[in-house]
């Protein structure tokens, strides 16, 4: 056992202070390295672990944050900050009951902490609502919103000056979609009747599709693959304005996480759904980990939909998200999914195609569906526990096995912020693409997209955030 001298303790404190400076400068990866260095010198200080946990929270590595909080509580079971950090991580993962246990402890120990009290009340409210909803489901057969919704019965006031879908054809056409985009640019709301019509049409289309979709690139055109856009409407529309709008010659594949975080998730998802109605064979949408109820409760989409429309509208979105496919294969060679690969080798495309995503609904905490939405690549061979606390981390050998098993050439996934918008890993066989520049208005990253031609040549394009009228 190493004796920790006063000199070593002082050295660890000096490094911790350097880490604190990195944290204040929002250099979270550098701060993590420094806190880790301090821990390696003196592993008996609980605050080193909670400081590192805070960095992991900022990096969305919730599994690591929980692990560090546990280590801090092992050193000092009464270290309240560790309970608070663990609660924050569990809330971020949608583990509300686990979070509530820690928040009760924090509230008792620090009754005058307004932030802790607010988070406790928020979490308790969510837990009560979840329990209430489960009780209702247990007492009566839950009826699908899609099955009982009668859009024809919804009237539109003559004073409504927004885009309209033709009452006779009920079809989403190009003039409507163009008018819709213009309407949203002006931060105006579409009438609920037309919003319901768009979402319902996509729901009906998606329920007939398998969990894995085969994609063909237009023979005389291209396919653009985009990653997370997270409700950043003006950055999202900037993709179309600079790279070309969807058409029969220019297909798009948006690889999940359309909503949450940003302030205009409703506008982003309705625009995507409208284009899906317009070009069903040329606009592809994959489910991300944020197209789930737990994430939507925490990160804003549920509240935004209910504020702009209603509970019923959110429930219809939830049903539609359950119907979104989990993966795509481009020209039989490029596998595209939001998160990543699996906790076992030799998973086949046919297995993925047959996942009962609609019957399962929410992805749960393990299994193929969960891993498709949550997993991340790692540079080391093999597999390890997820830094997020859900899914796994997979190495180059795992990618190689999956590609060889299914006669594929590469994996494209999203799910992670990258400084330059994209990163190529695993000997060029695994690409991450992220399309929300300056994520959360704070990170400063570029966004990226991938243009792919029929001969599978790839062009990586990066772009910066635009200045919208919402943040001038």
446 CB neighbour count, 10 Å cutoff: 19
DSSP state of 466: P
- Cα separation, 171 vs 191, in Å, equals 16
C-beta separation of 341 from 411 below 8 A: yes
With both helix axes pointing from N to C terminus, report the angle between 114-139 and 96-109 in degrees, rounded to the nearest 10.
Answer: 140
177 CB neighbour count, 10 Å cutoff: 20
User: Hey, which residues does 410 pair with through a beta bridge?
Assistant: 334
101 CB neighbour count, 10 Å cutoff: 14
- Cα separation, 218 vs 279, in Å, equals 12
CA distances from 267 to 180, 183, 184, 276, 282 (A): 9, 10, 6, 14, 20
C-beta separation of 236 from 268 below 8 A: yes
C-beta separation of 286 from 328 below 8 A: yes
C-beta separation of 451 from 458 below 8 A: yes
Per DSSP, the three-state class of 118 is: helix
* Encoded tokens for 8: 């070593």
Pairing of strands 334-337, 327-330: antiparallel
Which residues are known to be catalytic?
A: 290
Please count the residues of the chain: 472
19 by Cβ neighbours in 10 Å (0-12 / 13-18 / 19+) ranks as: buried
- Cα separation, 57 vs 190, in Å, equals 36
- Cα separation, 331 vs 216, in Å, equals 5
- Cα separation, 109 vs 103, in Å, equals 10
DSSP state of 113: -
441 CB neighbour count, 10 Å cutoff: 12
């Amino acid at each position: 056992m190493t004796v920790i001298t006063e000199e070593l303790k002082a050295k660890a404190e000096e490094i911790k202070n350097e880490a604190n400076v990195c944290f204040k400068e929002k250099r979270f990866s550098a701060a993590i390295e420094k806190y880790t260095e301090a821990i390696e010198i003196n592993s008996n200080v609980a605050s080193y672990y909670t400081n590192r946990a805070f960095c992991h929270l900022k990096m969305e590595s919730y599994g690591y944050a929980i692990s560090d909080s546990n280590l801090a509580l092992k050193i000092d079971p009464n270290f309240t900050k560790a309970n608070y950090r663990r609660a924050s991580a569990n809330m971020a993962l949608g583990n509300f009951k686990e979070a509530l246990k820690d928040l009760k402890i924090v509230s008792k120990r620090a009754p005058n902490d307004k932030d802790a009290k607010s988070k406790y009340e928020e979490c308790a409210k969510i837990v009560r609502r979840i329990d209430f909803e489960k009780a209702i489901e247990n007492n009566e057969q839950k009826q699908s919103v899609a099955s009982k919704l009668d859009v024809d019965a919804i009237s539109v006031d003559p004073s409504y000056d927004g885009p309209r879908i033709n009452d006779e054809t009920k079809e989403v056409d190009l003039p409507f979609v163009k008018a819709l985009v213009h309407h949203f640019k002006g931060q105006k709301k579409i009438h609920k009747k037309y919003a319901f019509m768009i979402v319902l049409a996509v729901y009906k289309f998606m329920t007939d599709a398998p969990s894995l979709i085969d994609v063909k690139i237009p023979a005389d055109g291209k396919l653009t693959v985009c990653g997370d856009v997270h409700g950043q409407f003006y950055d999202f529309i900037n993709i179309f304005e600079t790279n070309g709008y969807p058409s029969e010659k220019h297909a798009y594949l948006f690889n999940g996480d359309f909503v949450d975080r940003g302030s205009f998730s409703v506008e982003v998802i309705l625009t995507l759904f409208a284009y899906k109605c317009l070009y069903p064979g040329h606009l592809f949408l994959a489910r991300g980990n944020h197209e789930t109820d737990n994430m939507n409760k925490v990160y804003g989409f549920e509240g935004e939909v209910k504020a702009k429309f209603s509970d019923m509208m959110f429930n219809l979105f939830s049903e539609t998200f359950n119907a979104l496919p989990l993966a795509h294969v481009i020209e039989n060679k490029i596998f595209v999914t939001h998160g990543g690969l699996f906790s076992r080798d030799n998973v086949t495309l046919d297995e993925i195609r047959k996942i009962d995503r609609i019957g399962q609904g929410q992805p749960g905490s393990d299994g193929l569906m969960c891993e498709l939405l949550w997993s991340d690549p790692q540079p080391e061979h093999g597999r390890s526990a997820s830094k997020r606390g859900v899914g796994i981390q997979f190495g180059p050998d795992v990618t190689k096995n999956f590609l060889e098993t299914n006669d594929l050439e590469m994996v494209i996934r999203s799910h992670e912020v990258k400084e330059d918008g994209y990163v190529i890993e695993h000997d060029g066989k695994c690409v991450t693409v992220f399309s929300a520049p300056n994520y959360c208005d704070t990170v400063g990253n570029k966004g990226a997209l991938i243009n792919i031609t029929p001969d599978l040549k790839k062009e990586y394009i990066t772009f910066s955030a635009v200045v919208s009228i919402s943040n001038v």
